[in-house]
Amino acid sequence: ACEGKGVSKHIWVIPFPACGHILPLVDLNHQLLLRGLKVTILVTPKNLCYLSPLLSLHSPSNVQTLVFPFPSQSSLPPGVEQMQDLPISFVPDIATALGKLYDPLFQWFQSHPSPPVAILSDTLLSSWTTKLACHLNIPNISFLPFNVRAVSSWFGKLNIMPSFYTEAYMASIQSWGLVFNSFKELEGENLDIIKEKFTRHDRVWAVGPLLPAKAGDRGLNERGGPSSIPPGQVMAWLDSCHVDKSVVYVGFGSQITLTKRQMKAVASALEDSGVRFIWAVKDPMKRVQDGDDDQSMIPQGFEDRVAGRGLVIKGWAPQVAILRHRAVGSNLSHCGWNSALEGILAGVLLLAWPMQADHFHITKLLADEFGVAIRVCKGLRSIPDSVKLARIFVDSTSMARPERVRAIKLQKTALNAIRKGGSSYQALDKLIEGLSS
């Protein structure tokens, strides 16, 4: 691995274009900028919108964008530059397409009057970004927006993983440094495993939960692009819910679309439970794989039947603003790491329906080890029992649930970790120190 010598203050950021990856990396950049670093961020045109909170908050002399056209890749539908339009099996195709930027990026670096001193790149792109960093004789820092528990398990199984992931994680392990969006109080043991068993150095930093770059209400509403419904309307609806923690938020992140039967089960449960709710229904993905035409179908008449009591958002929802509203008490979620952390920071009870990737590890951590989540269902294709689910919805709005009490405790611990002097705050300082030494 390259050594981090002669590092000053301009770094080069290479995000992976999935919401769950680029959003926390933007938040990390905000922290780095606040601490005096300058950044140049590589994006393709359709991902420029994710950078707007940063660009509006920081001076153009400190945050620059490097926009390259998305390289053509025959296995991807034309015009697609973002994972949101694709099933997870397309991760390697997106990474391979972006890897075609290697030569233009090398040339850009060579001709830059004051080139960056380090690369900060998403782990999914590590297999080529670490090579680029070595070639340019600068260190690579790998950003891993997964929970540490999952990563330590994956690192231990590299020999049986698909070759794309083996190469990417191997390159992450060999990077100069590794950054996690997690915190010591939650995942300290797993961080130690990563250091002791895999990296064998200490440049492994847990700097989370990263706060959204723009913490004001408007900023939260812009997170990840424009909301599909005027955010003011959502907030007004939540304001009209007078009982604190009485609203259930149902959202499955940016990658998961439910099948027709899953939609039906969730809809019945919401209808029968009588609870107030917001349901964010993701737009269907591009039909690239199995021609599943039934994604995201809201059962006929459902919205009329729950009118006033429930709000259905079709498309992008202002999730962080919703979770932070005092009226929201629980979140039926696929357990994406960002959603889980956003829920923890908001003191919202997680109703876990893990689907893929690191979701099962997250459920184990939060439901079984920390007792701050309730298991509801599991698996990408499973269909929950709507009667049981309705009962869980009702139950989840009760203040007496021990999981809720523990969730509120964990919220405090998380907030302390990112406060001045907290574990994540100190880790960020150390990361910057490491870069500057």
The residue length of the chain stands at 437
**Minimum distance between the CB of residue 352 and ligand UDP, rounded to whole angstroms?**
12
Residue among 294, 254, 248 nearest 271 (CA): 248
Tell me whether residue 19 or residue 431 sits nearer to ligand UDP (CB atom): 19
**Minimum distance between the CB of residue 74 and ligand UDP, rounded to whole angstroms?**
26
Task: Tell me the H-state helices in 319-401.
Answer: 319-324, 337-346, 359-363, 386-396
Q: Which residues contact 364 (CB under 8 A, 6 or more apart)?
A: 149
Tell me whether residue 139 or residue 253 sits nearer to ligand UDP (CB atom): 253
Backbone angles phi, psi at 250, to 5 degrees: -110, 120
**Residue 20 binds ligand UDP, judged by CB under 6 A:** yes
How many residues bind ligand UDP (CB under 6 A)? The answer is 20
Q: Which stretch binds ligand UDP (CB under 6 A): 38-46, 162-170, 304-312, 336-344?
A: 336-344
**Residue 328 binds ligand UDP, judged by CB under 6 A:** no
**Minimum distance between the CB of residue 63 and ligand UDP, rounded to whole angstroms?**
20
| Catalytic residue (choose from 27, 85, 93, 122) | 122
Element (H, E) at 331: strand 328-333
**Minimum distance between the CB of residue 430 and ligand UDP, rounded to whole angstroms?**
25
Strand partners, 237: none
Given candidates 199, 339, 363, 397, which one binds ligand UDP under the rule CB under 6 A? 339
**Residue 231 binds ligand UDP, judged by CB under 6 A:** no
Token pair 């070639």 in the structure block, residue: 135
Tell me whether residue 24 or residue 116 sits nearer to ligand UDP (CB atom): 24
User: Rounded to an integer, what is the distance from CA 190 to the centroid of its chain?
Assistant: 19
**Minimum distance between the CB of residue 357 and ligand UDP, rounded to whole angstroms?**
7
Tell me whether residue 27 or residue 167 sits nearer to ligand UDP (CB atom): 27
Q: Which residues contact 216 (CB under 8 A, 6 or more apart)?
A: none
**Minimum distance between the CB of residue 382 and ligand UDP, rounded to whole angstroms?**
17
Other beta carbons less than 10 A from residue 326's beta carbon: 15
Q: Which stretch binds ligand UDP (CB under 6 A): 67-75, 129-137, 331-339, 396-404?
A: 331-339
**Minimum distance between the CB of residue 355 and ligand UDP, rounded to whole angstroms?**
8
| Catalytic residue (choose from 10, 21, 359, 361) | 21
The span from the CA of 313 to the CA of 316, in Å, is: 7
Tell me whether residue 173 or residue 210 sits nearer to ligand UDP (CB atom): 210
Q: In a 10 Å sphere around its CB, with 0-12 CB exposed, 13-18 middle and 19+ buried, how is residue 409 labelled?
A: middle
Residue 361 a catalytic site member: no
Given candidates 2, 11, 14, 23, which one binds ligand UDP under the rule CB under 6 A? 23
Instruction: Tell me if 38 sits within 8 A of 59, measured CB to CB.
Output: no
Joined tokens for residue 338 = 């960002």
**Minimum distance between the CB of residue 277 and ligand UDP, rounded to whole angstroms?**
15
Tell me whether residue 21 or residue 38 sits nearer to ligand UDP (CB atom): 21
Which residues within the stretch 232-251 sit at the binding site for ligand UDP (CB under 6 A)?
A: 251
Residue among 85, 158, 153 nearest 127 (CA): 158
The span from the CA of 404 to the CA of 400, in Å, is: 7
Residue among 168, 226, 147, 224 nearest 14 (CA): 168
Residue 334 a catalytic site member: no
DSSP label at residue 123: G
Joined tokens for residue 390 = 């309705």
Mask: binding to ligand UDP, 278-317, rule CB under 6 A, as x and -?
Answer: --x-----------------------------------xx
Strand partners, 375: 352
Tell me whether residue 42 or residue 320 sits nearer to ligand UDP (CB atom): 320
Which residues within the stretch 188-227 sit at the binding site for ligand UDP (CB under 6 A)?
A: 223-224
Q: Give the Å distances, CA to CA, from 350 to 179, 238, 270, 298.
A: 25, 19, 16, 23
The span from the CA of 301 to the CA of 85, in Å, is: 27
Residues that bind ligand UDP (CB under 6 A): 18-20, 23, 223-224, 251, 253-255, 280, 316-317, 319-320, 336-339, 342
Active-site residues, by number, are 21, 122
